[in-house]
Structure 1
Amino acid sequence: MWRIGNIGSNGLMLISLLLTSSTAVVAQDIQIMRLPSQVYIDDKITLSADVQKFDVKPITDLDLTTLNSSTVSPKTNTDYDVRVREFMEKNATDLGLQNNAANLSLSAVRKGLSGTLVEYQQNINGIPVLDTQIGVALNADGNVGSVTKDIVQIPTSKAGQVPSEAKISEPDALEIVQKDLKPEGAIIEAPKVSQAYLSTDGGFRLVYVIRVAVERPFGYWEYRVDSQDGSLVDKFDRRVQEQKRGEESPPAIEPLPAVDLLKAQADKAAKKTAAITGNPASGTAQVFSPNPVTSLNNVALLDNENSDVFVPAYATINLDNITTSNGKFFLVGPLVRIEDFEPGLHSVWTAPSTTSDGKWNASRGDNAFNDAMTYYYIDESLKYLRSLGYIGDRDLFPGGIAADSDGVAGKDNSHYVPDSDVIAFGHGCVDDNEDSDVILHELGHAIHDHLNPAWRGGDSGAIGEGFGDYWAFSYRMKLVSSGKPDFGKVFPWDGIDSCWGGRRADRTTATYNPAKRYDAHETVGGFVADELWSTPLVQTLITAKASGLKVEDVDKVVLEGMFFSGTNFTMRSLALTTVNKAKELYPSGEIAAILQSEFQKVKILE
């Protein structure tokens, strides 16, 4: 039977499924363990036994009658919650909810272009279980279209083995991080501490999750400290990084003053500047459109060329929705904010540029040029997302996003930071933000994170990088025609051979292995895993445009596939989801057919 809990302080209803004594299943040998991730999709494509063996099942394996027979359209989150709970009760065994001591909390009801996604998070003792999710997607007609699940099995018989309270204090946990990290310099983000359950092989731990960003050792660190014995369970840098081949490291510099995380917890981050307020304004800027290699049709261009060589590559563009205050103009608007929240080279913190007349006329080599490039391309891309329909209750960036054009501690790298929701760009060889591909690639990471906050596990690392490459390429296709120079290359300017070489989106001889999981930037058999995902998407874009179809329509399909992908997904499961979304959005089937063909060329689909 379903047991409905009280409404929590966050307004989300907690639900758990327990069997009555008359229907209880004896399960003495069942252990606390993570169940296999699964995706149930509308079976518009025949799923082979090989596909089903891994992670994809037809939606018809589930009992759909509860949702699909309803004639009442849900209007509130509670309405959606009630309907989906009935569906999950019908399918408790398949979804791994039977005899499971963990509760489910409604974490989000999110609307996409093709339907609504109702998402749940596992909890026990009122504390979340890390990396768990059930997502039930309802099509525009209200019927269930797909289901994703990635949960932990916690048998009711084992519930007593789960620790319910921490034995060490929060300050004690912070002290453990302090001793291990040995932070110096500025606190970029003050520590945030929470508790969560972490499933491990045959076990279940209550841990402190501590997130902090510091100047040195530079990074946005996440620590997991066992709340029972204080042992360090895990630590990692949360940044989604480009990790270029031959990345340049800054030269050695003097030590910075040590900082105390326990004192910093009560203070704001040391370098966080006050928000800029003022009146909306417009301006102009000099930018590369999209980059000098493409504009000048010169693949032999070098970073140290005479400045006169670049003059024909500059274009003057309009800046919309910037801010003016006290006689100055700032690159701050409703969608983008140029800020200084990270150190650059030699630990220099570069304040965002301003002008007295709203005109950014700087050239490359002046960071004001990087500011203008960063603001313009992110602003254009977020406005484009809104034009596709992601607006109102579908808006992916209702609060905009912050970007630092001179950060990453001076490395030749760029990154997006999930949860912190910021983008920063580095310098070294070609400055990263001189190439629109780099700016839009990093924004691509923010887009996939906003489309799907459960983005993790499986092939998500390589897919995220591949999507970022696709998003950059898609924008460039709107500006230039296919052909030379080297049209299949991503990052034509930042990735010149004398810097790091860039990546490609035409690796049509790459081959997918369904038994493997693909990490970001992983080299596999002569290609990079990122290229295995970007290639079929970009080739679909090229073929569709040549066939008279709209780039915008392909973009919608790719975005909607990611919106409904859940967590711990693979290239194969996401490809199937994406093709099905193409058929939903464009029933004529042209985009779906091209996508399926391109996925088959690299063996992602069979």
Structure 2
Amino acid sequence: MKTLKAKIEKQVINDVPHRIYDIEVEASEKAPKNIAEDMLRQIAPDLEISPDLSQLKFDQVKDTILGSHVLYQQQFQGKPISGAWIRVDIDPKGKVYNILNDLVPEPVLKKTERMRANKTVSQQTAEAQLTADDVRALALKAVEPSSATAEQILSTELVYFPKDGIPVLAWKVIIDVNNPKAEWKIYFDAVTGGIIDKINILAYANGVGKVFDPNPVVALNDTGLKETSVIPATAYNDIVLNDIGTSGMLDGPFVNTKATNDRVKSPALKFNFTRNDRAFKEVMVYFHIDRAQRYIQALGFNNVLNTSISVNIDGTTDDNSFYSPSSKSLTFGTGGVDDAEDAEVILHEYGHAIQDNQVPGFGASKEAKAMGEGFGDYMSASFFSDKKSAGLKPTIANWDAVAYSGDEPPCLRRMDSNKKYPRDIVGEEHSDGEIWSACLWEIRAAIGRAAADKLIIAHHFLLSPRSGFQDAANALITTDGNLNQGRNERVLHDIFIKRGILPNPGRGNKRAGARYND
């Protein structure tokens, strides 16, 4: 860089820095926002943006155990550019140590201006901009054959969206649909109405579930159980439900069941049910999410989804469950074994909510979605590993899986996959997520549960919605340097090099998971 002594990784499309790290700069006693803006003005020539920062709209300062994270979104002609964000990471002493840049450089924005300027007045008139009503009608058509009504359109916004790297005027629509359940974010060309991008932003877990601690297969160490098995009393744990208040309903500081129809009420605050009672699922989602959040706080995080999340225990008859980024709620399915009966399914879905809270919109690329699934799997496996026999430890959702799995033991997925990147990438997030969860599982084995959980949750603060596997690997290494003075750097490098996520400098920067014909 010309204006700063630091290491950089460049954007894939534009020849400007994407990640700036190992920055040599003095600490400052100024407020984080002022520190960030001083830094941005200094490096504006390198980023190829206006030094007056007039195109950057301040979003927020988020304080975490890594310090302060100052976020800005880029505007063009008064409208936001989708995906164009920059974040400045500042340690607790006031030193900028990491910058993540996805802004569109000025030369590219000038191409957008020229595209409009080169059109004649008659062309501009003929290309009349679509109205919000026009685009709502297009959205309803675009989600067919799924069913949706106009009331299920959650938002419409006029933005600029990078099309082939050049921002074009577009309508962003978010629409909730049924049959199958999905929540689509669709970008339409504001003139032609053509679809530029379409992504399902619901985070899904495949499976069915049951809740004990974590489930009967683990509690009884019996992999021969069936969905129809009579579950003995020894599989149940007597537990304390913390802070449910005096309403008689399961409403607490970190979870509530307000999204559930006809929910249970007990003025005496006694919720002693078995799986034969529908209310049993309410108790299980409350207990397991509440306990998981308290564990996260015990690791040192005081602002990672430390609000009450709403849960619908049986909101779909599908053999599936999901987190909705729009409503910030969880919905569990009743196909097969009811999903809300398996604590590992519950924590997997809660993992999606955690990531969305740390990085709003996380999962905007295929690799990011895969990492979301991998983290959800890891969170479940790590949380319950100490309760499991050796053969069950690297597996999740063993009770959920008895209805469909032919594996021994039955499971939804495993943490000990031998998959490598990019050889085993298939483009399906749950399958590709096994690459990421296997890396996280190896980190846990190398440095221990608490240290790994803290490191893994913390590194999310350094990601963007579209981050890929290599971005996350580098973010984990940077986070370890911040939290642990880098004492696990070698371990992390070795794990990611072995999996092919980071190139191997000892082998000419080849990847371990490269395909032969690559």
Q: TM-score, normalised on structure 2?
A: 0.82
Q: CA deviation at 1:215?
A: 4.4
Q: Which residue pairs with 1:259 in the alignment?
A: none
Q: Which residue pairs with 1:506 in the alignment?
A: 416
Q: 1:568 to 1:236 in 2, by over 3 A?
A: closer
Residue identity in the other structure for 1:148: L
Residue identity in the other structure for 1:294: V
Deviations 1:47-84 (A, max 9, x none): xxxxxxxxxxxx45xxx4xxx3354232xxxxx33322
Q: Does 1:353 align with 2:264?
A: yes
Deviations 1:270-311 (A, max 9, x none): xxxxxxxxxxxxxxxx96111111111112221121x2x342
Secondary structure at the counterpart of residue 534 of structure 1: helix
Q: Does 1:85 align with 2:37?
A: yes
Q: Does 1:484 align with 2:403?
A: no
Residues 377-456 of structure 1 aligned to structure 2 (within 5 Å): 377-391=288-302, 395-407=303-315, 409-453=316-360, 455=362, 456=364
Tell me which of 253, 260, 278 is aligned to 1:367.
278
Instruction: Find the aligned partners of 1:586 and 1:179 in 2 and give their Cα distance.
Output: 52
Deviations 1:252-272 (A, max 9, x none): xxxxxxxxxxxxxxxxxxxxx
* Equivalent pair of 2:273/2:280 in contact (CA under 8 Å): yes
Q: Which residue pairs with 2:6 in the alignment?
A: none
Q: Which residue pairs with 1:239 in the alignment?
A: 202
Secondary structure at the counterpart of residue 559 of structure 1: helix
Q: 1:489 to 1:90 in 2, by over 3 A?
A: same
Identity over the aligned pairs, expressed in percent? 26
Q: CA deviation at 1:378?
A: 0.9
Q: 1:452 to 1:179 in 2, by over 3 A?
A: closer
Q: 1:303 to 1:318 in 2, by over 3 A?
A: same
Instruction: Find the aligned partners of 2:192 and 2:475 in 1 and give their Cα distance.
Output: 43
Residues 267-306 of structure 1 aligned to structure 2 (within 5 Å): 288-305=212-229
Q: Does 1:542 align with 2:464?
A: no
Q: CA deviation at 1:537?
A: 1.4
Q: Which residue pairs with 2:238 in the alignment?
A: 316
Residues 179-198 of structure 1 aligned to structure 2 (within 5 Å): 179-181=141-143, 189=152, 191-198=154-161
Instruction: Find the aligned partners of 1:81 and 1:35 in 2 and give their Cα distance.
Output: 26
Residues 146-157 of structure 1 aligned to structure 2 (within 5 Å): 146-155=98-107, 157=110
Q: CA deviation at 1:399?
A: 3.3
* Equivalent pair of 1:558/1:578 in contact (CA under 8 Å): yes
Q: CA deviation at 1:214?
A: 4.3
Instruction: Find the aligned partners of 2:16 and 2:463 in 1 and give their Cα distance.
Output: 12
Q: Does 1:494 align with 2:400?
A: yes
Q: Which residue pairs with 1:160 in the alignment?
A: 113
Deviations 1:304-333 (A, max 9, x none): 21x2x34211111111111433xxx11111
Q: 1:506 to 1:574 in 2, by over 3 A?
A: same
* Equivalent pair of 2:205/2:320 in contact (CA under 8 Å): yes
Instruction: Find the aligned partners of 1:187 and 1:340 in 2 and give their Cα distance.
Output: 21
Q: 1:485 to 1:361 in 2, by over 3 A?
A: farther
Q: CA deviation at 1:439?
A: 0.5
Deviations 1:482-502 (A, max 9, x none): x43432112222123734841
Unpaired segments ≥5 residues, structure 2: 1-11, 117-123, 505-518
Secondary structure at the counterpart of residue 192 of structure 1: strand
- 196-205 or 592-601, which deviates more: 592-601
Deviations 1:338-385 (A, max 9, x none): 1336xxxxxxxx432222421222212432111111111111111222
Q: CA deviation at 1:189?
A: 4.9
Q: CA deviation at 1:102?
A: 8.1
Q: 1:96 to 1:449 in 2, by over 3 A?
A: farther
Q: Which residue pairs with 1:603 in the alignment?
A: 500
Q: 1:92 to 1:462 in 2, by over 3 A?
A: same
Kindly indicate which of the two structures has a greater share of residues assigned to strand.
1
Q: CA deviation at 1:222?
A: 2.9
RMSD of equivalent CA atoms: 3.2
Kindly indicate which of the two structures has a greater share of residues assigned to helix.
2
Secondary structure at the counterpart of residue 121 of structure 1: strand
Q: CA deviation at 1:199?
A: 1.3
Instruction: Find the aligned partners of 2:114 and 2:426 in 1 and give their Cα distance.
Output: 35
* Equivalent pair of 2:16/2:46 in contact (CA under 8 Å): no
Q: Which residue pairs with 1:332 in the alignment?
A: 251
Secondary structure at the counterpart of residue 47 of structure 2: coil
Secondary structure at the counterpart of residue 238 of structure 2: strand
* Equivalent pair of 1:239/1:418 in contact (CA under 8 Å): yes
Residue identity in the other structure for 2:250: L
Secondary structure at the counterpart of residue 315 of structure 1: coil
Q: TM-score, normalised on structure 1?
A: 0.71
* Equivalent pair of 2:154/2:174 in contact (CA under 8 Å): yes
Q: 1:41 to 1:86 in 2, by over 3 A?
A: closer
Instruction: Find the aligned partners of 2:149 and 2:268 in 1 and give their Cα distance.
Output: 33
Q: Which residue pairs with 1:72 in the alignment?
A: 29
Q: Does 1:471 align with 2:379?
A: yes
Residue identity in the other structure for 2:369: G
Residue identity in the other structure for 1:595: L
